Protein backbone atom coordinates (compact mmCIF):
# COMPACT_ATOMS: atom_id res chain seq x y z
CA UNK A 1 0.00 0.00 0.00
CA UNK A 2 1.25 3.48 -0.87
CA UNK A 3 1.96 5.81 2.01
CA UNK A 4 3.21 9.27 2.90
CA UNK A 5 5.76 9.74 5.66
CA UNK A 6 6.41 13.11 7.27
CA UNK A 7 10.02 13.99 8.11
CA UNK A 8 9.92 15.06 11.78
CA UNK A 9 12.90 17.42 11.85
CA UNK A 10 16.05 18.57 10.05
CA UNK A 11 18.28 16.30 12.15
CA UNK A 12 16.96 13.14 10.45
CA UNK A 13 16.46 14.70 7.02
CA UNK A 14 19.72 13.42 5.56
CA UNK A 15 18.90 9.86 6.53
CA UNK A 16 15.38 10.14 5.11
CA UNK A 17 16.64 11.52 1.79
CA UNK A 18 19.53 9.09 1.41
CA UNK A 19 17.63 6.58 -0.73
CA UNK A 20 15.46 9.11 -2.53
CA UNK A 21 15.92 8.28 -6.23
CA UNK A 22 17.86 10.61 -8.49
CA UNK A 23 16.10 12.20 -11.42
CA UNK A 24 12.96 13.26 -9.56
CA UNK A 25 13.50 16.85 -10.59
CA UNK A 26 15.64 19.32 -12.46
CA UNK A 27 16.32 20.71 -8.98
CA UNK A 28 17.86 17.48 -7.60
CA UNK A 29 21.14 19.15 -6.50
CA UNK A 30 19.43 21.71 -4.28
CA UNK A 31 16.49 19.70 -2.92
CA UNK A 32 18.24 18.71 0.36
CA UNK A 33 19.19 22.35 0.97
CA UNK A 34 15.65 23.59 0.35
CA UNK A 35 14.12 20.83 2.48
CA UNK A 36 16.44 21.63 5.39
CA UNK A 37 15.59 25.33 5.26
CA UNK A 38 11.88 24.54 5.09
CA UNK A 39 12.00 22.40 8.24
CA UNK A 40 14.09 24.96 10.11
CA UNK A 41 11.60 27.68 9.11
CA UNK A 42 8.62 25.80 10.54
CA UNK A 43 7.62 24.13 7.28
CA UNK A 44 6.90 20.49 6.49
CA UNK A 45 8.56 17.81 4.39
CA UNK A 46 6.79 14.65 3.24
CA UNK A 47 8.10 11.57 1.43
CA UNK A 48 5.96 9.25 -0.68
CA UNK A 49 6.51 5.50 -0.91
CA UNK A 50 5.00 3.24 -3.55
CA UNK A 51 3.34 -0.12 -2.74
CA UNK A 52 6.75 -1.83 -2.92
CA UNK A 53 8.16 0.50 -0.27
CA UNK A 54 10.37 2.45 -2.67
CA UNK A 55 10.45 6.21 -2.29
CA UNK A 56 9.00 7.96 -5.30
CA UNK A 57 8.40 11.57 -4.34
CA UNK A 58 9.06 14.51 -2.03
CA UNK A 59 6.81 17.38 -0.98
CA UNK A 60 8.19 20.54 0.66
CA UNK A 61 5.57 22.87 2.14
CA UNK A 62 5.51 26.21 3.96
CA UNK A 63 2.31 26.63 5.96
CA UNK A 64 2.78 30.38 6.47
CA UNK A 65 3.01 31.00 2.75
CA UNK A 66 0.55 28.21 1.85
CA UNK A 67 3.04 27.27 -0.85
CA UNK A 68 4.82 24.03 -1.65
CA UNK A 69 6.66 22.08 -4.30
CA UNK A 70 6.10 18.46 -5.30
CA UNK A 71 9.12 16.60 -6.68
CA UNK A 72 8.10 13.37 -8.39
CA UNK A 73 7.78 11.59 -11.73
CA UNK A 74 4.82 9.56 -10.44
CA UNK A 75 1.27 10.77 -11.04
CA UNK A 76 0.10 8.63 -8.11
CA UNK A 77 2.59 10.31 -5.76
CA UNK A 78 1.61 13.72 -7.10
CA UNK A 79 -2.06 13.04 -6.40
CA UNK A 80 -1.33 11.92 -2.84
CA UNK A 81 0.67 15.05 -2.11
CA UNK A 82 -1.77 17.36 -3.87
CA UNK A 83 -4.62 16.25 -1.63
CA UNK A 84 -2.60 16.98 1.52
CA UNK A 85 -2.76 20.76 1.27
CA UNK A 86 -5.96 22.22 -0.21
CA UNK A 87 -6.18 25.97 -0.85
CA UNK A 88 -2.47 26.24 -1.56
CA UNK A 89 -0.05 27.22 -4.29
CA UNK A 90 1.63 24.02 -5.46
CA UNK A 91 4.56 23.86 -7.88
CA UNK A 92 5.55 20.71 -9.73
CA UNK A 93 7.37 19.74 -12.89
CA UNK A 94 4.78 17.01 -13.41
CA UNK A 95 1.92 18.15 -15.61
CA UNK A 96 -1.51 17.10 -14.35
CA UNK A 97 -3.98 17.94 -17.10
CA UNK A 98 -7.04 17.87 -14.83
CA UNK A 99 -5.95 20.77 -12.60
CA UNK A 100 -5.86 24.50 -13.42
CA UNK A 101 -2.29 25.70 -13.67
CA UNK A 102 0.11 28.33 -14.89
CA UNK A 103 3.26 27.43 -16.83
CA UNK A 104 6.64 28.66 -15.62
CA UNK A 105 9.92 28.17 -17.45
CA UNK A 106 13.12 27.01 -15.77
CA UNK A 107 15.97 29.15 -17.06
CA UNK A 108 19.65 28.37 -16.68
CA UNK A 109 22.87 30.24 -17.26
CA UNK A 110 26.26 28.70 -18.02
CA UNK A 111 28.24 30.74 -15.48
CA UNK A 112 31.63 29.73 -16.86
CA UNK A 113 30.80 31.03 -20.33
CA UNK A 114 28.88 34.16 -19.29
CA UNK A 115 30.77 37.41 -19.77
CA UNK A 116 31.12 39.41 -16.55
CA UNK A 117 32.14 42.70 -18.16
CA UNK A 118 29.82 45.39 -16.87
CA UNK A 119 29.92 49.04 -15.86
CA UNK A 120 28.04 49.40 -12.59
CA UNK A 121 25.72 52.31 -11.98
CA UNK A 122 24.83 51.29 -8.44
CA UNK A 123 26.73 49.80 -5.53
CA UNK A 124 25.69 46.19 -4.86
CA UNK A 125 26.45 44.56 -1.51
CA UNK A 126 25.66 41.34 0.31
CA UNK A 127 23.39 42.15 3.24
CA UNK A 128 23.87 40.10 6.41
CA UNK A 129 21.44 42.02 8.62
CA UNK A 130 18.30 39.85 9.02
CA UNK A 131 16.33 42.68 10.61
CA UNK A 132 16.97 45.06 7.71
CA UNK A 133 16.14 42.36 5.17
CA UNK A 134 12.97 41.35 7.00
CA UNK A 135 11.71 44.94 7.10
CA UNK A 136 12.19 45.32 3.35
CA UNK A 137 10.54 41.98 2.55
CA UNK A 138 7.65 42.63 4.94
CA UNK A 139 6.77 45.77 3.00
CA UNK A 140 7.44 44.49 -0.52
CA UNK A 141 6.80 40.72 -0.29
CA UNK A 142 4.48 40.35 2.72
CA UNK A 143 3.65 36.74 1.83
CA UNK A 144 7.18 35.74 2.85
CA UNK A 145 7.71 33.60 5.94
CA UNK A 146 9.95 35.99 7.89
CA UNK A 147 11.48 33.14 9.92
CA UNK A 148 13.04 31.90 6.70
CA UNK A 149 15.26 34.99 6.38
CA UNK A 150 17.38 34.16 9.43
CA UNK A 151 17.40 30.47 8.51
CA UNK A 152 18.56 31.23 4.97
CA UNK A 153 21.39 33.48 6.12
CA UNK A 154 22.48 30.87 8.68
CA UNK A 155 22.58 28.23 5.94
CA UNK A 156 24.74 30.35 3.66
CA UNK A 157 22.18 31.86 1.27
CA UNK A 158 23.29 35.24 -0.07
CA UNK A 159 21.13 38.36 -0.20
CA UNK A 160 22.40 40.93 -2.72
CA UNK A 161 20.98 44.42 -2.27
CA UNK A 162 21.16 47.90 -3.74
CA UNK A 163 20.62 50.79 -1.36
CA UNK A 164 19.76 54.40 -2.12
CA UNK A 165 19.99 56.98 0.66
CA UNK A 166 20.85 54.23 3.10
CA UNK A 167 17.83 51.99 2.54
CA UNK A 168 17.26 48.88 0.43
CA UNK A 169 15.45 49.51 -2.86
CA UNK A 170 16.35 46.31 -4.72
CA UNK A 171 17.08 42.75 -3.65
CA UNK A 172 17.89 39.28 -5.02
CA UNK A 173 18.51 36.06 -3.11
CA UNK A 174 20.80 33.26 -4.17
CA UNK A 175 21.41 29.77 -2.81
CA UNK A 176 24.63 27.98 -3.77
CA UNK A 177 24.95 24.21 -3.46
CA UNK A 178 28.17 22.80 -4.85
CA UNK A 179 28.51 23.99 -8.44
CA UNK A 180 24.82 24.88 -8.83
CA UNK A 181 23.13 28.10 -7.73
CA UNK A 182 19.50 29.15 -7.70
CA UNK A 183 18.40 32.79 -7.85
CA UNK A 184 15.06 33.88 -6.42
CA UNK A 185 13.30 36.67 -4.53
CA UNK A 186 14.11 39.35 -7.09
CA UNK A 187 12.43 42.65 -6.31
CA UNK A 188 12.95 46.35 -7.04
CA UNK A 189 10.66 49.01 -5.62
CA UNK A 190 8.46 50.38 -8.43
CA UNK A 191 9.80 53.95 -8.27
CA UNK A 192 13.35 52.68 -8.79
CA UNK A 193 12.72 50.41 -11.75
CA UNK A 194 14.21 51.02 -15.21
CA UNK A 195 17.35 52.41 -13.55
CA UNK A 196 19.53 49.35 -14.11
CA UNK A 197 19.37 48.23 -10.49
CA UNK A 198 18.56 44.59 -11.18
CA UNK A 199 21.08 44.47 -14.01
CA UNK A 200 23.78 45.64 -11.61
CA UNK A 201 22.55 43.10 -9.07
CA UNK A 202 22.79 40.32 -11.64
CA UNK A 203 26.38 41.11 -12.58
CA UNK A 204 27.39 41.32 -8.92
CA UNK A 205 25.94 37.84 -8.42
CA UNK A 206 27.64 36.58 -11.58
CA UNK A 207 31.04 37.83 -10.40
CA UNK A 208 30.47 36.15 -7.05
CA UNK A 209 29.47 32.86 -8.71
CA UNK A 210 32.56 32.87 -10.89
CA UNK A 211 34.71 33.38 -7.80
CA UNK A 212 33.05 30.30 -6.26
CA UNK A 213 33.54 28.25 -9.46
CA UNK A 214 29.80 27.70 -9.78
CA UNK A 215 28.87 26.06 -13.07
CA UNK A 216 25.13 26.69 -13.48
CA UNK A 217 22.69 29.37 -12.26
CA UNK A 218 18.98 28.54 -12.40
CA UNK A 219 15.78 30.48 -11.81
CA UNK A 220 12.12 30.23 -12.71
CA UNK A 221 10.01 32.79 -14.60
CA UNK A 222 6.30 32.69 -15.35
CA UNK A 223 5.62 32.08 -19.04
CA UNK A 224 3.42 35.18 -18.98
CA UNK A 225 6.20 37.38 -17.59
CA UNK A 226 7.59 38.55 -20.93
CA UNK A 227 9.83 41.38 -19.62
CA UNK A 228 11.67 39.06 -17.20
CA UNK A 229 11.99 36.39 -19.89
CA UNK A 230 13.43 38.93 -22.32
CA UNK A 231 15.94 40.04 -19.69
CA UNK A 232 16.94 36.43 -19.02
CA UNK A 233 17.50 35.79 -22.72
CA UNK A 234 19.49 39.00 -23.10
CA UNK A 235 22.00 38.01 -20.41
CA UNK A 236 22.50 34.59 -21.98
CA UNK A 237 20.08 32.33 -20.11
CA UNK A 238 18.27 29.54 -21.92
CA UNK A 239 15.14 27.56 -21.09
CA UNK A 240 16.07 24.18 -19.62
CA UNK A 241 12.68 22.91 -18.51
CA UNK A 242 9.26 23.85 -17.23
CA UNK A 243 7.37 23.77 -13.97
CA UNK A 244 3.69 24.33 -13.26
CA UNK A 245 1.95 26.39 -10.60
CA UNK A 246 -1.26 24.69 -9.48
CA UNK A 247 -3.93 26.50 -7.51
CA UNK A 248 -7.38 25.73 -6.22
CA UNK A 249 -10.17 27.50 -8.12
CA UNK A 250 -10.45 30.15 -5.35
CA UNK A 251 -6.84 31.25 -5.86
CA UNK A 252 -5.75 33.83 -8.47
CA UNK A 253 -2.14 32.93 -9.16
CA UNK A 254 -1.54 35.55 -11.80
CA UNK A 255 -2.42 38.47 -9.52
CA UNK A 256 -0.99 37.20 -6.25
CA UNK A 257 2.36 35.63 -7.14
CA UNK A 258 5.44 37.82 -7.48
CA UNK A 259 7.37 38.23 -10.73
CA UNK A 260 9.77 35.37 -10.24
CA UNK A 261 8.87 32.18 -8.46
CA UNK A 262 9.35 32.02 -4.75
CA UNK A 263 11.80 29.64 -3.21
CA UNK A 264 10.87 26.02 -3.45
CA UNK A 265 9.25 25.18 -0.30
CA UNK A 266 8.48 26.67 -1.98
CA UNK A 267 11.62 25.38 -3.74
CA UNK A 268 8.27 26.96 -2.77
CA UNK A 269 10.72 31.93 -6.73
CA UNK A 270 10.53 30.48 -2.98
CA UNK A 271 10.58 32.25 -1.87
CA UNK A 272 10.54 29.32 -4.91
CA UNK A 273 11.95 25.19 -6.83
CA UNK A 274 8.47 29.41 -2.74
CA UNK A 275 8.23 31.97 -3.77
CA UNK A 276 10.94 35.14 -3.22
CA UNK A 277 11.06 35.50 -6.74
Domain spanning 106-242, CATH architecture: 3-Layer(aba) Sandwich (3.40)
pLDDT for 2 equals: 75
pLDDT per residue as tens digits for the range 197-228: 999 999 999 999 999 999 999 999 999 999 88
Contact 247, 125 (CB under 8 A): no
Work out the end-to-end distance of the chain between its first and last CA atoms, rounded to an integer number of angstroms: 38
pLDDT for 1 equals: 61
pLDDT per residue as tens digits for the range 80-115: 999 999 889 999 999 999 999 999 999 999 999 999
Q: Average pLDDT for residues 11-29, to the nearest whole number?
A: 94
Q: Average pLDDT for residues 118-134, to the nearest whole number?
A: 97
pLDDT for 201 equals: 97
Helix axes 147-154, 31-40, angle to 10 degrees: 130
Torsion from C-alpha of 146, 152, 153, 157, nearest 10 degrees: -130
Q: DSSP letter for 263, please.
A: P
Residues in the chain: 277
Q: Where are the beta strands (DSSP E) in the chain?
A: 3-6, 44-49, 55-62, 67-72, 89-92, 101-110, 124-126, 158-164, 167-177, 180-188, 216-222, 238-246
- What is the chain's mean pLDDT, rounded? 89
Percent of the chain with pLDDT over 70: 89
Amino acid sequence: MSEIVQVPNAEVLGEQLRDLPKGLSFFDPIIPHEAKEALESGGEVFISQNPKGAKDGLFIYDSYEATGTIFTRSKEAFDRFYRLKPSSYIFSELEAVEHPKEKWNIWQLNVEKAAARHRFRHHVTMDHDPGEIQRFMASTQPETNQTWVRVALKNGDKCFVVKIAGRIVGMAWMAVVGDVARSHGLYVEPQFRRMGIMKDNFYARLIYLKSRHVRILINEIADSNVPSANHAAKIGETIAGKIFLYTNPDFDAASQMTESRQRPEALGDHRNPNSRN
